[in-house]
Amino acid sequence: MSRNFAEKIDHTLLKATATKDDILKLCKEAADYQFFSVCVNPIWVSTAKKALEGTDVRVCTVVGFPLGASPASVKAFETKQAIAEGADEIDMVIPIGAFLSGDNDTTYTHIAAVKEAAGDRIVKVILETSYLTDEDIVQGCELSVKAGADFVKTSTGFSDGGATLKHVSLMKGAVREQAKVKASGGIRDRQTMQAMVEVGADRVGASASVAIVTSS
């Protein structure tokens, strides 16, 4: 596995039961294998930032996670707090119910509010594609680009399904060169990750990152 491949991975631990020791282990693995970032819940941002001092590994956290159902103002506050504590990147969940209701204005407002709060930090917009039609996915990508998102992302990993090759390819086509694509959810081996990259994933979120990069 090339270093370049490892650098596409957000090494992820978002379980409710994750302890401080678990987070420190995650950070050590990320530094050892030179993953792009760790992705942790907001309560662990400062812990991860401190643990990764002196490395090139970034700290990513989640906002409005995993349901996307908090108000835009709350997501903006979460974003500002996370950045103050050391977050380099923000993965936010759209207001899924509002989006499925056809409320594009609210969806846009949520994404734009987080992007404004994030400033120059990377913002990835989680669409939760397993709940969406192909048309929804394209529309969600277009709204994300319009609101200034840097990435669109498939999944939280907490829904009925994760990333699929079809959805990643669809998202890549929808954002064109205006944003990047992160595949997340159910990626547990090298072959699956390679396939995701080949159809357009610029970044991959995984909890099985070590197994991915050490498998043959």
The answer to whether residue 182 is catalytic is: yes
- Out of 8, 115, 153, 172, the active site residue is 153
The answer to whether residue 153 is catalytic is: yes
Burial class (CB in 10 A: 0-12, 13-18, 19+), 202: middle
The mean-pLDDT minimum among 25-29, 157-161, 170-174 falls in 157-161
Strand partners of residue 4 = none
What pLDDT is recorded for position 160? 87
> Mean pLDDT score of the chain, rounded to an integer?
97
Q: Inform me whether the pLDDT recorded for 131 exceeds 80.
A: yes
The answer to whether residue 25 is catalytic is: no
From 90, 89, 91, 84, select the one nearest 46 (Cα to Cα).
84
From 216, 106, 206, 97, select the one nearest 157 (Cα to Cα).
206
- Out of 10, 88, 91, 150, the active site residue is 91
Domains annotated for the chain, with CATH where assigned, are 59-214 (3.20.20.70)
Whether pTM exceeds 0.95:
yes
